[in-house]
Amino acid sequence: MEQFRGFTIADPIAPFIAINDHDAATAWSFTLLHEMTHLMLGTTGISGAHSELAIEQFCNDAAGEFLLPRSELGALRVQRTASLNDLVIRISAFAAERHISRAMVAYKLYRADAVPLAAWQALDNRFRQLNVDESKTRGAKQKEKRGGPNYYVVRRHRLGHALMRFTRASVDDGSLTPTKAARVLGVKPRTVYPLLFGGATRKARSSRGTCNGLPPRRKRSDDCE
């Protein structure tokens, strides 16, 4: 199954955009612009690879033109008969110089009819695998380093203050259980309390006269130990 890059919920009252942080960091700006285009069109959608839906192609084209105008793409000249390895090398160098996504450059080449469909699909799959491999390498290097921020600090930064405040308040007032909060935050249930309340655990918060940090009048049996 293909891994999604982002999705949009085009709700008129509470529009929402999510970006897969396991994707390459250079791809986040493209995904954000793609999803923002969905919002401006008032459509909900999930972005991934090889979509043939007209709306997805339009959103891709809008995001791609903003980050890499067609006039700039002309600086990258490729042969339609070039080998996959040659295309990977040339596209990677071009994208690195401009700090943009390799996959986006490949998509732009395909839309400009500079590479055939089969070549673009092969490039997109190759770049996805490279992103996975590079992410694993970075993770291994970070584990080797001493010091630096811990898991919870990094996770809070990635989730953002707004989502953290909302989830913390919802858990505290009982409208959101720790299990559901874990789904919202994309973490395991046992990490919800340390993530939301620092060093506080369920037992520590329960000792203050609450059940898992929930006011007694609204405590839920499935949240109590």
Of the three residues 120, 144, 168, the one that is the final residue of a domain is 144
**Based on the domain organization, do 83 and 194 belong to the same domain?**
no
Q: Are residues 49 and 156 in the same domain?
A: no
**What is the band of 115 on the pLDDT scale with cuts at 50, 70, 90?**
very high
Question: Do 206 and 119 reside in the same domain of the chain?
Answer: no
Q: What is the mean pLDDT of the chain?
A: 81
The answer to whether 4 touches 20, Cβ cutoff 8 Å, is: yes
Look up the domain containing 36 and give its range.
Answer: 6-144
Residue 63 domain-assigned (yes or no) = yes
**Mean pLDDT, residues 81-103:** 93
Identify whether residues 166 and 136 lie together within a single domain. no
Query: What is the tally of structural domains in the chain?
Result: 2
CB count, 10 Å around CB of 17?
16
Region 90-108: what's the mean pLDDT? 93
Q: Report phi then psi at 169, rounded to 5.
A: -65, -40
Could you tell me which residues are beta bridge partners of residue 6?
19, 47
Specify if 100 maps to a domain. yes
Confidence of residue 201 (pLDDT cuts 50, 70, 90): low
Cα gap 198→70, rounded to integer Å: 48
In a domain, 218, yes or no: no
Determine the Cα angle at 180 with ends 175 and 181, to 5°.
80
Are both 48 and 95 inside the same structural domain? yes
Tokens 């130990």 belong to residue: 225
Residues 133, 22 share a domain: yes
| 224 part of a folded domain | no
Number of CB atoms found within 10 A of residue 52's CB: 6
The SS3 assignment for 45 reads strand
225 has a pLDDT exceeding 60: no
Same domain, 60 and 113: yes
Between 90 and 16, residue with greater pLDDT:
90
Greater pLDDT, 20 or 88: 88
pLDDT band at 105 (very low <50, low <70, confident <90, very high): very high
For the segment 59-80, what is each residue's pLDDT rounded down to a tens digit? 988 998 999 998 899 899 898 8
The residues with which 42 forms a beta bridge, in sequence order, are: none
* Same structural domain, 105 and 137: yes
pLDDT reported for residue 207: 47
